[in-house]
């Protein structure tokens, strides 16, 4: 009996063992193939990074070498600097440096990229490079030489010692032997040196991109949690005792307050305020939504009433979208006949009963200028219209204050219309006729919100608001 059982089980066990060995071998081969592919990608990105930083140094030198009156060559050089720097940034993003402090170098390259782009896109024949900008280029040229030299030093060690980037990833993930890793030490050295470079005057357009929004910029004196409790209770119509307040980021420039309260049935409220001045940043009411029974007109009417009651006068709706029985409207401040796009708020409305369930007002808070002076347009609407494409079919026009690529507030004529089968908003500078911005107006499906679209409307509402 045992002989018969063994005769049956032994071949089966042998086959299972062989199958397990084959499976394990294949799994190991696949794993090794993936590791080799990842290693090759890391090596390629690293060597390309070293190459492009060296090319950046050379291109900065070429830009400085041309005659100051040779604006065409300067622009070409700056465009190449922007392109090369963008490629270097992309290669850094492909390396396993997430947990490695390399932020100073990344920000340094980002500033070079933005500086070169903002300088190249302007008309250098009318606005030539200033002495300060030429001084910046010389400093960047010297800095790029040092970074390139240090990266090439790391590159030489990687090649001569056959170092692997997979070991860097493992060291960073496990925090083991990270201090003794040649590549990690090399990148830390580069980042430390970059952090010690003297701060350059990048100009207002570039510096504004890196200026962090802070409550220090807001007017008003710091207020207490008790003040916030009163503000929140008044905003939602609750008794003070029902509101709980928590301070965030105490002792930092990001200090703020969060107020929470319970409402009827399953409703709960959350409100965020700045510490300086107690400005409302956001409001939300979480509740279960019922079936949709309202449309755009009702949502807009409820939003306008809400904003007026809560102290946001002169707001004009400029876009509308729907998502999961929620209507989302963007309003901008209006001063006279001019729409001020930087000063905007977004209102969410439940389409079951018209209750406002959310308000996002951070842009309004940080961009608001009480005594803002809007210049008179130098061009008439007829003169500005001449700068449009002859095939553009205009539907409306209005004055709008927007931020251009240089982060400057400029007065424009906003022309809404269509061309090539799509709807657009084109912003023409009211002073010189430049095209400051072009936005495509998309007709979104109600259940397919595109939150990054600057201008959006629901499928049911294609008319400009």
Contact 77, 120 (CB under 8 A): no
What is the DSSP annotation of 288-329? Answer: --------HHHHHHHHHHHHHHTT--SEEEEEEEEETTEEEE
pLDDT at residue 462, as a whole number: 36
To which residue do tokens 């205009």 refer?
394
**pTM, two decimal places:** 0.67
Task: Give CA–CA dist 146/156, Å, rounded.
Answer: 15
Q: Which residues pair with 315 in a beta bridge?
A: 333
Task: Give CA–CA dist 284/360, Å, rounded.
Answer: 9
In a 13 Å sphere around the CA of 171, the CA atoms on its Cβ side amount to: 17
pLDDT at residue 445, as a whole number: 42
pLDDT at residue 456, as a whole number: 36
pLDDT in tens, 389-398: 999 999 999 9
Cβ partners under 8 Å of residue 64, min gap 6? 134, 137, 138, 141
pLDDT at residue 358, as a whole number: 95
> At the topology level of CATH, where does 217-367 sit?
TATA-Binding Protein (3.30.310)
Backbone angles phi, psi at 451, to 5 degrees: -65, -20
- Where in the sequence of the chain do the CATH 3.10.450 domains occur? 381-458
Cβ partners under 8 Å of residue 49, min gap 6? 88, 91, 92, 95, 151
Pure H helices in 196-282: 204-210, 225-236
Torsion from C-alpha of 73, 87, 109, 70, nearest 10 degrees: 0
Question: pLDDT under 50 in the chain at which residues?
Answer: 177-179, 214-216, 445-464
Helices 165-174 and 2-65 cross at an angle (nearest 10°) of 100
Torsion from C-alpha of 386, 387, 391, 397, nearest 10 degrees: -80
- The CATH architecture to which 381-458 belongs is Roll (3.10)
Nearest to 147 by CA among 229, 60, 30: 60
Nearest to 240 by CA among 253, 248, 249, 231: 231
- Where in the sequence of the chain do the CATH 3.30.310 domains occur? 217-367
Nearest to 109 by CA among 93, 131, 97: 93
pLDDT at residue 26, as a whole number: 63
């Amino acid at each position: 009996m045992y002989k018969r059982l063994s005769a049956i089980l032994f071949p089966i066990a042998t086959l299972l063992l062989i199958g397990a060995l084959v499976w394990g071998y294949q799994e190991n081969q696949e794993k090794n193939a993936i590791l080799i592919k990842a290693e090759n990608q890391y090596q390629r990105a690293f060597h390309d990074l070293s190459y492009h930083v060296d090319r950046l140094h050379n291109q900065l030198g070429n830009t400085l070498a041309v005659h100051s009156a040779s604006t065409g060559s300067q622009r070409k050089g700056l465009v190449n600097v922007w392109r090369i720097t963008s490629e270097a940034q992309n290669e850094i993003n492909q390396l396993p440096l997430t947990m490695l402090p390399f932020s100073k170098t990344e920000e340094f390259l980002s500033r070079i990229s933005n500086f070169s782009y903002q300088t190249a896109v302007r008309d250098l024949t009318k606005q030539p490079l200033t002495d300060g900008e030429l001084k910046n280029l010389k400093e960047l040229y010297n800095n790029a030489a040092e970074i390139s030299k240090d990266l090439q030093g790391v590159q030489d060690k990687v090649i001569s010692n056959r170092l692997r980037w997979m070991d860097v990833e493992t060291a960073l993930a496990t925090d083991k032997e990270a201090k003794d890793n040649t590549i990690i030490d090399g990148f830390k050295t580069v980042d430390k040196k970059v952090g010690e470079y003297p701060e350059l005057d990048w100009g207002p357009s570039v510096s504004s991109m890196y200026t962090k929004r802070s409550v220090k910029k807001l007017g008003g004196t710091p207020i207490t949690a008790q003040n916030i409790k009163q503000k929140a209770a008044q905003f939602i119509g609750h008794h003070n005792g029902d509101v709980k307040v928590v301070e965030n980021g105490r002792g930092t420039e990001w200090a703020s307050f969060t107020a929470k309260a319970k409402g009827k049935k399953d409703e709960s409220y959350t409100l965020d305020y700045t510490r300086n001045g107690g400005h409302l940043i956001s409001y939300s009411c979480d509740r279960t939504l019922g079936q949709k029974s309202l449309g755009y007109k009702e949502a807009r009417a409820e939003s306008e009433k809400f904003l007026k009651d809560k102290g946001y006068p002169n707001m004009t709706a400029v876009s509308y979208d729907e998502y999961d029985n929620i209507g989302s409207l963007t309003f901008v401040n209006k001063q006279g006949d001019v729409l001020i796009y930087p000063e905007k708020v977004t209102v969410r409305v439940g389409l079951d009963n018209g209750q406002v369930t959310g308000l996002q007002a951070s842009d309004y808070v940080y961009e608001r200028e009480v005594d803002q002076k809007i210049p008179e347009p130098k061009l008439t609407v007829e003169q500005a219209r001449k700068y449009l494409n002859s095939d553009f079919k205009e539907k409306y026009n209005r004055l709008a204050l927007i931020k251009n690529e240089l982060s400057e507030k400029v007065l424009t004529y906003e022309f809404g219309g269509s061309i090539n089968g799509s709807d657009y908003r084109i912003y023409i500078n009211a002073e010189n006729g430049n095209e400051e911005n072009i936005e495509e107006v998309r007709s979104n499906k109600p259940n397919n919100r595109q939150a990054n679209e600057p201008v959006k409307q629901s499928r049911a509402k294609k008319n400009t608001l």
